[in-house]
Chains A and B, each alone.
Chain A
Amino acid sequence: LSTPQKHQRGNTMRSVSVDLNHDASLLIDIPDALCERDKVKFTVHTKTTLSSFQKPDFSVPRQHEDFIWLHDTLVETEDYAGLIIPPAPPKPDFESPREKMHKLGEGEATMTKEEYTKMKQELEAEYLAVFKKTVQVHEVFLQRLSSHPNLSKDRNFQIFLEYDQDLTVRRKNAKEMFGGFFKNMVKSADEVLISGIKEVDDFFEQEKTFLLDYYSKIKDSTAKAEKMTRSHKNIADDYIHISATLNSLSADDTTILFVSVQKVEGRVASDQELKLTELLRYYMRDIQAAKDLLYRRARALVDYENSNKALDKARLKSKDIPQAEEHQQQCLQKFDKLSESGKKELTSFKGRRVVAFRKNLIEMAELEIKHAKVSSTIQLTHFYTNEKWTL
């Protein structure tokens, strides 16, 4: 897609997260987006009754990088160490449909005009699906923030929503300040640290065990679900070729049937993708965010333990005892704060996850049933109403 494409959100289906955007004091959505080459420009629309904002209803254009900047600043904010920071939306990835479009262009000579048109339509639908997905995932990120009691009040969040100039300059400054230091730290060795720690609290012990195991399982399930979805798409494409060839062999209702079969396969693929795969993918990232919280708490515990050791040392040497005491107190406070906040966060996270899974699994089952009914109805109707079938 080389020309800019505007995308209007009609009936917004927030597939992966629930209970968002209900608080009327701050409502955020992404009503439309523009796709230019591979750069996506999102229109972030805010409706608010809060006095902290200058206007009650406004929109700003934002790029993906702006979202990342916001996420990173939140992660690196000390005050939020005890919170699960909503996972950053992944970069819009049009690689797959783009590559397919390229291949299609190369193979144009080998297929009929009709086939080519159909394949192109399929690809355009795929582009659109990727587009919709990326809009959705960026929207959910913002809505997670707006519905969080602490994060919704964040200054940078407000800037993100309100600042009507280009955020690029701010982004650059932020990068210079933090240098992505903390983020890198978190990424490396977190598992070792978390699992190695002596846990005093049963709750956290259980959570740790659960999250580590669950993460690896859900990562695997996500990958397998993606493969399933790809196979469905391949089959749908095969049906396009078969219909086209059948059409030139003995054009009549048989090709209509094949086209309908192909459409159903295609739709099964995209619905499955949306419900199942996206669900798994999202929660995989969310669990990573929860793990990050555990990591930060573990870090704080280590700091506290170190501060205890330092205090003991100071007492032994009878030197700098007040500083050591104060430092130890600070570490303890930090650790306690993280533990308290972390417990709340992890509990509500579990609830959120269960609700989201329920919703998506139900919707997926219902869609599968719908598709199967539709496609078998088409086929059966054809059998019985068409005299040509009576051989």
Chain B
Amino acid sequence: QSASEPASLPAEDISTNSNGPKQDSLFDDDPEDLFAEATEEVSLDSPERDVLLSDGPSPAITPITPPTSVLTPRIGLHDDMFTHSSFDEVKIEEEEGGDSFDIHISVSDPEKVGDGMNAYMAYKVTTKTSISLFKSHEFSVKRRFSDFLGLHSKLASKYLHIGYIVPPCAGKKHWMTKVKVGKEDQSSNEFVEKRRSALERYLMRTVKLPVLLKDPDVLQFLESSELPRAVSTQALSSAGLLRMVNKAAEAVNKMTIKMNESDAWFEEKQQHFENLDVQLRKLHASMESLVLHRKELSVNTAQFAKSAAMLGNSEDHTALSRALSQLAEVEEKIDQLHQDQANADFYLFSELLGDYVRLITAVKGVFDHRMKTWQKWQDTQMLLQKKREAEAKLQFNNKPDKLQQAKDEIKELEGKVEQGEREFEQISKTIRKEVSRFEKERVKDFKTIIIKYLESLVQTQQQLIKYWDAFLPEAKAIS
């Protein structure tokens, strides 16, 4: 750890639920970058670190030469936005060790345990898998909400700073905010279901990362009947958090030395994620507008139905009167359809969008870590340069004791510079792989949701056909 690093908070105090500065409930708990500070604690030479670097049998990754490599910059930003196939220069082998990715986790049976202040939600976490890592093929454990947050906290502190996009877990603040603004009824089925579903998605995303799947904390979370209570999932003080946010931003801003253009890939990716962020928020806004309008349509349809019924009553031509009453009934049924569709619109899409806005914050954090790693390497290099100059001076002035010390320091620094370079290369390599995996998942996720959504639309259309088909003879019967 370099001496210039300010004192950072001990790992246990870090929690995933932030009370950060007032932010939208969608992404209020995610200054994932904050954990950068905490991760300084993990010594670069620690055994854990080595484990992380050599994660299993080497995947088929095209070796990435030092930054001045021939990796051609992307042809156009456009390509990145579309399919995963554009990430061809880095071959990915998702399934390590030849295991097919066969694991399914479900979170179920939410139940309230205890009363009053000490009450908490507990969930049953069931894993079904054929992966040999696990002790058996199917098993369940009971976990409480803070256990999830604790798991995320540990994983973030271990993997974020070396370039892994650790999936975020919506914290206590996220759920509380929803309740506070009156949007949700805490005990409502919908709210409980949303939370359960979010936790399930969190675990599934987590195990999709091969490096996380193998992590002992993850294995313990899924398998152990007893889990040590996560110590601190309480919120950090706002002041403490604010300090961390500022420090991280400061560190990134300090990049005075411009990185060379072999980083074009990274520059473009960062731009890409900035754009993605904007697009997702825009999409979310459009979805909310759609839901609102569909709810309005439902209200208007119901009102029209009532009005048509009254008109039918007033009509003195018998057959027409009956037809108008039938029309009113059809419109009432259609109103119900509109309501169901509004729910489908919102639930499926909105939840996914919320997840991705949080995920992208994690992605941005990972890019920032790379910058910091690079900066550190550069700083060490500059320090080495200074030491060498000092050594030359000492040699000139013939001071043998100090000279030896200087030579020792230089040797140490040379080692550190090499290490700095290795770390930078490693994080760059990891990020490339991670981003590729992330994009693939994202496309897949969106497709899945869209299919589900369209299926619900199809169902609606087919119901509409039934209703109007039933009405048609009534209209034809008017003579």
Interface residues of A (CB under 8 A from B): 210, 213-214, 217-218, 220-221, 224-225, 227-228, 230-232, 234-235, 238-239, 241-242, 245-246, 248-252, 254, 257, 261, 350, 354, 357-358, 361-362, 365-366, 368-369, 372-373, 375-376, 379-380, 382-383, 388-389, 391
Contacts and interface: CB of A to CB of B under 8 A. Distances in A.
A382 to B, nearest CB: 8
Contacts of A210: 314, 316
A228 B454 CA distance: 23
9 contacts: A217-B307, A221-B307, A221-B308, A231-B296, A249-B276, A358-B320, A358-B478, A365-B475, A373-B465
Contacts of B450: 246, 254, 257
Contacts of A254: 446-447, 450
Task: Sort A-B residue pairs by CB-CB distance and give the 8 closest, nearest first.
Answer: A231-B297, A376-B461, A358-B478, A361-B475, A224-B304, A238-B290, A234-B293, A372-B461
B282 A228 contact: no
B12 interface: no
B465 A214 contact: no
Nearest to A268: B464
B478 A239 contact: no
A361 B287 contact: no
A220 B447 contact: no
A217 B310 contact: yes
Contact of B465 (A251, A362, A372): A372
A238 B293 contact: yes
Contacts of A224: 300, 303-304, 307
Contact of B311 (A217, A230, A373): A217
Given A234-B297, A388-B447, 19 more contacts: A224-B300, A227-B300, A227-B303, A228-B301, A230-B300, A235-B293, A238-B293, A242-B286, A245-B279, A246-B283, A248-B279, A249-B276, A250-B81, A251-B81, A254-B447, A361-B327, A365-B468, A375-B457, A391-B447
Contacts of B476: 358, 362
B296 A361 contact: no
B460 to A, nearest CB: 8
A257 B456 CA distance: 13
A228 B304 contact: yes
Contact of A232 (B297, B316, B464): B297
Contacts of A221: 304, 307-308, 310-311
Nearest to B284: A245
B421 to A, nearest CB: 36
Given A214-B315, A354-B478, A357-B320, A231 B300 contact: yes
A357 B475 CA distance: 9
A213 B327 contact: no
Contact of B475 (A227, A238, A362): A362
Contacts of B276: 249
Contact of A362 (B447, B461, B472): B472
A200 B301 CA distance: 42
B317 interface: yes
A231 B142 CA distance: 47
Contacts of B311: 214, 217-218, 220-221
Contacts of A388: 447
B448 interface: yes
A376 B462 CA distance: 7
Given A232-B297, A357-B478, A242 B287 contact: yes
Contacts of B307: 217, 220-221, 224
Contact of B280 (A214, A220, A249, A350): A249
A209 to B, nearest CB: 10
A239 B457 CA distance: 13
B471 interface: yes
B250 interface: no
Contacts of A372: 461-462, 464-465, 468
Contacts of B275: 248
Interface residues of B, number: 57
Contacts of B101: none
Contact of A261 (B293, B308, B457, B465): B457
B404 interface: no
A249 B279 contact: yes
B170 interface: no
Contacts of A361: 323, 327, 475, 478
B317 A365 contact: no
Interface in B397-449: 442-444, 446-448
Given A357-B320, A372-B465, A249 B471 contact: no
Nearest to A240: B286
Contacts of A248: 81, 275, 279
Contact of A227 (B81, B304, B468): B304
Contacts of B469: 369
Contacts of A249: 81, 276, 279-280, 283, 446
Contact of B304 (A217, A225, A257, A380): A225
A241 B317 contact: no
Nearest to B291: A238
B395 interface: no
B269 interface: no
B464 A368 contact: yes
Nearest to A227: B300
Contacts of A214: 311, 314-315
Given A228-B304, A248-B279, A358-B320, A238 B462 contact: no
B220 interface: no
B458 interface: yes
Most chain A beta carbons < 10 A, residue from B83, B304, B446, B476: B304
A89 B415 CA distance: 90
Contacts of A232: 297
A251 B82 contact: yes
A389 B446 contact: no
Contacts of B290: 235, 238-239, 242
A245 B451 contact: no
A81 B297 CA distance: 43
A248 B319 CA distance: 52
Contacts of B283: 242, 245-246, 249
Nearest to B287: A242
Nearest to B304: A224
B289 interface: yes
Contacts of A245: 279, 282-283, 286
A366 B472 contact: yes
Given A214-B314, A238-B286, A239-B290, A391 B448 contact: yes
B476 to A, nearest CB: 6
A135 B83 CA distance: 49
A367 to B, nearest CB: 9
B161 interface: no
B81 A213 contact: no
A217 to B, nearest CB: 5
A155 B54 CA distance: 100
A369 B466 CA distance: 8
B196 interface: no
Contacts of B369: none
B314 to A, nearest CB: 5
